[in-house]
Amino acid sequence: MAKNLAKRGNINDRMEIVLNKFKSRMTSYPPGMCPLVMYKSILQMSMNQSCGKCIPCRDGLVEAERMLQDILTGDAKEDTIERLEKLCIMISETADCAVGVVAANTVLDSLREFPDEYESHLKRRGCAESVTQTVPCISLCPAHVDVPGYVSLINEKDYEGAIKIIRDKNPFPTACAMVCEHPCEKRCRRSIVDQPINIRGLKKYAVDQVSADKIETPKRNVSTGKIIGVVGGGPSGLTAAYFLTLMGHKVVVYDEHEKLGGMLRYGIPEYRLPKERLDEDINAILNSGDIEVVLNTKVGKDITVEELKEKYDAVYLGLGAQIGNRMPIENVNCSNVIPAADFLLKIANGEEMDLTGKDVVLIGGGNVSMDAARTAIRLKAKTVNVFTRKRDDYTALESEIESAKEEGVRFRTLLSFLHLEEDKEDDDKICAVWLQPQIVGEFDSMGFVTTEHSSAYPYRFKCDLLILGVGQRCDVEDFEKAGIPVERGKILADTTCSVMFKESHNEDESIENSQGIFAGGDCVTGPSTAINAIAAGQVAAYNIDEYLGYHHKVECDVKAPFAMPNKCIPTGRAEIEERNPFERRRDFEHVEIPMTDEEAQRESSRCLRCDHYGCGSMEGGRCIC
């Protein structure tokens, strides 16, 4: 026995292994779990960390946990919540170390964040109606795609069936297989065992086996005689068009560009999403029913909003947010300063831009910024430096940041913008960017770190091209003039995508009335992801159908295989590999290497089928406290 323990290392090494496994348990709480149960588990963990020296921590946390348990079981009294708050304030102010202070503050945070949940347990002896456990991958996918269903079909090598299940909610299986941020993986319960399933990788494997436009779309409903106008041929507009035409309506799509696709075509570089692969999804959508496409037409100029309202039974505005923002600073309109979205649009339109030997500076840390930085590398830039003020400003996918680093992009953080230095030889250009070093401070109420100026001297960075990755906006000016309600550059629409008109001049009296006008995607939410735009298009389609007096359903003729129990044997996650960075940085060829058959089979077999086991088997999804 002693020899075996020696082989396994000392107690601290073995505890480290256990703690690493425990970390994954914290990320796999299913969506819809009772918040108080989660806070109770955090409190219990803090109790276990207590050294027992000071009374507030040693005894106070135990008493707080007992009160929380009474609230959960419905045994609490009217003053229990008030006593819990006073107790935690006392612990926070008198505990000797961070264990007691942080634990007490965590409970106080729960009282502020979830007062309705405390009240529900106190008065109804149960969770609020909105608290229901759900299958993580399905509920966290904005389009609510049946992820376990298509993963299990991939495991059975029924790739056509897998794509049909994806397309039941999302008509862009190929594009999303390439560029989706895969929020479905965030709470994957496979994390309890090892790591989340590579859901995006499996989707990509399926569309690599069978082209989406070769797979038959659902049978179209009989024609209703209704015609819907869709403004915007991006993911949101085309999604709405797809579902509306399957319901039996005729759809006319307007787009200002030469080709459909929106930001999928003009905002995502070729190396991430080859446009012939995007066309597979678009072809399938256009072949699904009665969809007419009007290109090179800008609504508001070539055709008015009033004409659309008169011509169609309903109108959907899926405009997207394709205009790059500029910072309100001097010299920002110089010829060698360009927003990241505009830079990517130029490249997508085939405009030649040779950056050989040039120093490129990029301000911003989102996915669009990473696309612009990696594109600049492929245009043979001498250096590409990405600057952000805070570490929190790097909102791009970690995989995108790592890929950019591999390709030679340099990242600098804790630098705030000061000013642009004008080129003395050409007043239409800048020659340098001045940045002020920062130091980190306290965290704000949202949990983001604050910064302040450092005493260090400002940096001057030579700059031949400045790319501004500081967000995008929607072109809503003509729509606002036509009476469409707009606030801070975004169209006002509710959760059903109905545009919210005001029927009174009284500013305090706002009445929802779509008047047949619906809107969704980036023009409502601001710049977001492709899957969020797709989800908005789906929601809009069903609500437009209801507005027109129908209640159509789009049937999927594929069923997920029977769920078999998983033995939960820890298994490595199959990752999507990329081409050698020294090779891929030289061209715009697709960077990802397809999964092998063996990898896809093993990865798909890791699925726990939560749609039939665990949280998916609960009646009504109710949380059991």
**Helix H or strand E encompassing 442:** strand 430-443
> Rounded distance, CA 489 to CA 526, Å?
8
Q: Please tell me what DSSP assigns to residue 189.
A: G
pLDDT score, position 371: 97
pLDDT of 249: 98
300 torsion bin: left (phi>0), alpha (psi -120 to 50), beta (else): left
Strand 410-412, strand 383-387: pairing: parallel
pLDDT digits (tens, 9 = 90+) for 250-283: 999 999 999 999 999 999 999 999 999 999 999 9
CA 408, 409, 414: angle at the middle one, nearest 5? 140
Residues 6+ apart with CB under 8 A from 40: 65, 68, 69, 72
126: three-class secondary structure by DSSP: coil
Name which of 521, 12, 512 is nearest 239 in CA terms.
521
Would you state the pLDDT for residue 7? Answer: 54
Residue 43 has a CB neighbour count (10 Å cut-off) of 22
Beta 410-412 vs 314-317: how paired, if at all?
unpaired
Instruction: Give the DSSP letter of residue 423.
Output: P
Calculate the CA dihedral of residues 531, 536, 540, 541 and round it to 10 degrees: 0
What DSSP element (H or E) covers 245?
helix 235-246
Which secondary structure element, helix H or strand E, spans residue 38, and what is its range? helix 35-49
Q: Which long-range contacts (CB under 8 A, 24 or more apart) does 584-591 make?
A: 584/271, 584/407, 585/374, 585/377, 585/378, 585/407, 585/408, 586/378, 587/271, 587/378, 588/269, 588/270, 588/271, 588/378, 589/270, 589/271, 590/270, 590/271, 590/272, 590/274, 591/271, 591/272, 591/403
Q: What is the pLDDT of residue 166?
A: 98
What is the structure's pLDDT at 275? 97
Give the number of residues written for the chain: 625
Residues of the chain with pLDDT under 70: 1-9, 503-514, 617-625
Task: Read off φ and ψ for residue 399, nearest 5 degrees.
Answer: -65, -35
Nearest alpha-carbon partner for 319 in 498, 520, 485: 520
A 10 A CB-CB count for 92 gives 19
Q: What are φ and ψ of residue 597, in 5° steps?
A: -60, -40
- Residues 192, 194, 198: CA angle, nearest 5 degrees: 105
Q: Report pLDDT for 505.
A: 41
- Please give the backbone phi and psi of residue 481, each rounded to the nearest 5 degrees, phi first: -65, -30
CA atoms of 435 and 389, how far apart (whole Å): 9
pLDDT, position 584: 96
Judge contact between 32 and 134, C-beta under 8 A: yes
